Structure 1
Amino acid sequence: MLIQLDFESNDPIYQQLVDQIIEGIARKELQPGEGLPSVRSLAADIGINLHTVNKAYKQLKQEGYILIHRQKGVVINPDGVPKADEDFRQRIEKSLRPLIAESICRDVSEEEFIKQCKQLFETFKGGNT
């Protein structure tokens, strides 16, 4: 999986890294049990501070996407990602609320919004970019 960061983005680098790893898992580019580079190795490979990678890995671990073993290193959770619970569903709603409100303000129709969501779902389910 190729990590591409936008250093000009308003999104923090660690969050871009988290998002791209989650996208890699969703696209099945990263499989359960598959190893990821060490913090130092990934930081060196993409030219960022190791604390940034460490922060991303900590968030991914906290959310159940990865496991960090002393001997095995960093691996995609072999049991798969934990299923959605009520907390996750609340996070979805919290994230969608401003997007829907802004879409309404910008005259994006409900149909267009839903169509775009469906296209993105299919992109991830189908493993396409």
Structure 2
Amino acid sequence: MLLQIDLQAEEPIYTQIMHQVIEAIAKQELKPGDDLPSVRSLASDIGINFHTVNKAYQLLKQEGYILIHRQKGVVIHPDGVERATEAFYAKLRKKVRPLIAESICKSVTKAEWERICATIYEEIEPEEEQ
């Protein structure tokens, strides 16, 4: 798994790891049951503290994206990711709300916002197999 970590970014490294793993699952680059590197291996590959990777993995585990086995290692959840619940929609609204408010302050129109969201969605959504 190839991660693009920006050590100078405002976003914490553990968040970058989480977001990239989730995006890889969304794009079906990582599939249920696929192995991920161990905490120590990934930390060594990236050149960061293993506690940072451990934090990302623990949060991914909490949210149901991965399983961590002492003997088998780290794997993408074999049953796949559970479908969106009302709690997820509440979390989504809470995260998007400040971005929309900031966009309105900067005169981004609703149409522009929808176009940006649609473009990003299409970039991430996996291609239909034919």
With structure 1 as the length reference, what TM-score do the two structures score?
0.95
- CA RMSD in angstroms comes to 0.9
The residue type paired with residue 65 of structure 1 is Y
Runs of 4+ aligned structure 1 residues displaced above 2 Å come to: none
* Cα shift at 1:87: 1.2
Show CA shifts across 1:34-93 (max 9, x none): 000000000000101000000000000000000011221100001001111111111100
1:36 aligns with 2:36: yes
Tell me the secondary structure at the aligned position of residue 83 of structure 2.
Answer: coil
Tell me the secondary structure at the aligned position of residue 126 of structure 1.
Answer: coil
Q: Aligned equivalents of 2:57 and 2:15: distance in 1?
A: 10
1:50 aligns with 2:50: yes
Equivalences, count:
127
Q: Aligned equivalents of 2:126 and 2:71: distance in 1?
A: 34
Residue number in structure 2 paired with 1:117: 117
With structure 2 as the length reference, what TM-score do the two structures score?
0.95
Structure 2: gaps spanning 5 or more residues:
none
Percent identity, please: 59
Structure 1: gaps spanning 5 or more residues:
none
Residue number in structure 2 paired with 1:19: 19
Q: Aligned equivalents of 2:119 and 2:10: distance in 1?
A: 25
Tell me the secondary structure at the aligned position of residue 11 of structure 1.
Answer: coil
The residue type paired with residue 24 of structure 2 is G
